[in-house]
Structure 1
Amino acid sequence: MFIDSHCHLDRLKQSESELAETLAFARQRGVQHFLCVAVSVNDFDSMYETVKEYEDVSVSCGVHPLHQEDACTYETLLQKASHPAVVAIGETGLDYFYSADTQEIQRTSFIDHINVANELKKPLIIHTRDAREDTLSLLREHKAPDTLGVLHCFTESLEMAKAAMELGFYISISGIVTFNSADELREVVKAIPLERLLIETDSPWLAPVPHRGKQNQPGFVVEVAEFIAELKGISLNELAAKTTENFYTLFSRAAKPS
């Protein structure tokens, strides 16, 4: 069984009935759980309304670093993230590639998210791009010892992955690993211990080969898993079992199937 550890179900260009079909398709392929990740606190309520009827969908709460127009106060983030359905804080982090001009506000928001995660004892979901030094330094400075998390849709260096794992973080791999241009990432994935690995789609973006050009969806996490299993020279069942175990270890509030 597989888990899509990071998707944006509320961002899929689908009706409610089509979303139900999309999730049913994923379940038929062996996907047992979905983590629907927030990019804006302002949109959290509507996101939750979209998915709350599905027992196998968990949610996070946070402000994506590229959505700082939706920045909120610490108190608002804490209040929203205290919702009992929220299993993680984020996605948060730093993106200097697409938005270098908002670095200061990104850092302030990131620190707020770390502190909320510390207070609520919920794991962090981190987006980082072209901000390796600041991402790691802020985590080292502000993260509580027992606050864990994941660097999602990882495309950074093996050195950064190792540093994050030393801080207790997991590394999540998306369909990017299947892209022709991802030779360096593939070498990183080979070196990441299976005990620290998660898989995701980041739907509706980044559809893996052979679905490039289509809207991504949670069912395509199977192609990500198949590719990584072959890359690491292990069975698909082993990859699926371990990444599923890792997910429930990290996101301990996510409901396991009965």
Structure 2
Amino acid sequence: MQTTSPSPPPVLPDATLIDTHCHLDMQAYDSDLDHVLEQAADAGIRNIITIGIDLASSRAAVKLADRYPQIYATVGVHPHEANNVTPAILDELSRLSKAPKVVGYGEIGLDYAKNYAPREVQRKVFATQLELAKQLDLPVVIHDREAHDETIQLLRATGPFHKRGVMHCFSGDVSLARQVIDLGFYISIPGIVTFKNAKDLQEVVRETDIQHLILETDGPFLAPVPFRGKRNTPAKIAYTAQMVAELKQMSLHDVAAMTTKNAIDLFRLPG
């Protein structure tokens, strides 16, 4: 028996949302991607950025961006895959980055929670890709999990980043948020902000000016309440926007308008 899911919170007709980080190439969307994208359009999602995490997914992201007008792409190698990085792969990513709808480099960074690659390898590959992103004149999409201090140190050491960047799926506290903003980066808020135990992230949203925030799903992961534990889709970013509006005591319309403007500015999307 099919159950009815709650509808996303309404977005006012003259405001839209942008999902700045989703993995549309993953198997979770294989059977119904067109339907997922239709739902997103119905929910007021004007653009989705699909993220490269290795060479194969970067290629897939570029193909999706070519196929769908509302989709843009990034390329890069996630820290989980750092062991597999070769000069040939970086050369191919550099070539892919020249595609007309590639708008960022990443996700790249450090992940000390899983440690799928040795930390010293992660650091080397992260630094190399930061330099490559600067050469390619692209904003960077940063993955930082349980590696806050070293992530900030490497960003400072390899900066400045004239095209700026974003700390994807932000997992730090207010102090870290201020350091990220000082680098000229945005803070990206995922559906985790709707979880009851996400007190640190909720405090970050309260204390951070909306001009520094963008929104993401990280789909198919991290679905917001009331979908926690289920597949995340771009349409569900409306729930994240609603929570941000509540935390900041702003209207949903204003949160949508400001975070969309921020995403357009960072990724140089059409206005």
1:9 maps to 24
Taking the aligned partners of 2:43 and 2:27, their CA distance within structure 1 comes to 19
Give the superposition deviation at 1:121: 1.1
Moved more, 243-252 or 74-83: 74-83
C-alpha contact 2:80 2:116 (8 A) present in aligned 1: no
Write out aligned runs for 1:42-61 (5 A): 42-61=56-75
Give the superposition deviation at 1:147: 3.3
Moved more, 28-37 or 49-58: 49-58
* Residue 199 (str. 1) matches residue 215 (str. 2): yes
| Structure 1 residue corresponding to 2:110, chosen from 94, 104, 107 | 94
* Residue 66 (str. 1) matches residue 58 (str. 2): no
3-state SS in 2 of match to 1:9: coil
Identical aligned residues as a percent: 37
Taking the aligned partners of 1:101 and 1:37, their CA distance within structure 2 comes to 20
2:9 maps to none
3-state SS in 2 of match to 1:66: helix
3-state SS in 2 of match to 1:186: helix
Give the superposition deviation at 1:159: 1.1
Read off the aligned partner of 1:192 and give its amino acid letter.
Answer: T
1:146 maps to 162
Taking the aligned partners of 1:173 and 1:92, their CA distance within structure 2 comes to 17
| Structure 2 residue corresponding to 1:182, chosen from 194, 198, 203 | 198
Give the superposition deviation at 1:51: 4.3
1:135 maps to 151
3-state SS in 1 of match to 2:144: strand
Write out aligned runs for 1:1-258 (5 A): 1-15=16-30, 18-73=32-87, 74-99=90-115, 102-252=118-268, 254-256=269-271
Moved more, 82-91 or 22-31: 82-91
Task: Calculate the aligned-residue CA RMSD, in Å.
Answer: 1.6
TM-score between both structures, scaled by the size of structure 1: 0.93
Change (3 A) 1:198 1:127: same
**Stretches of 4+ moved more than 6 A in 1?**
none
Q: Describe the superposition over 1:36-66 as per-residue Cα deviations: whole angstroms up to 9, x where unpaired.
A: 0111123322333344211110000000111
In the alignment, structure 1 segments of 5+ residues that lack a partner are none
Read off the aligned partner of 2:25 and give its amino acid letter.
Answer: D
In the alignment, structure 2 segments of 5+ residues that lack a partner are 1-15
Taking the aligned partners of 1:243 and 1:113, their CA distance within structure 2 comes to 27
Taking the aligned partners of 2:60 and 2:84, their CA distance within structure 1 comes to 14
Q: Describe the superposition over 1:101-143 as per-residue Cα deviations: whole angstroms up to 9, x where unpaired.
A: 5111111111122111211111000010111111111111112
Taking the aligned partners of 1:137 and 1:179, their CA distance within structure 2 comes to 30
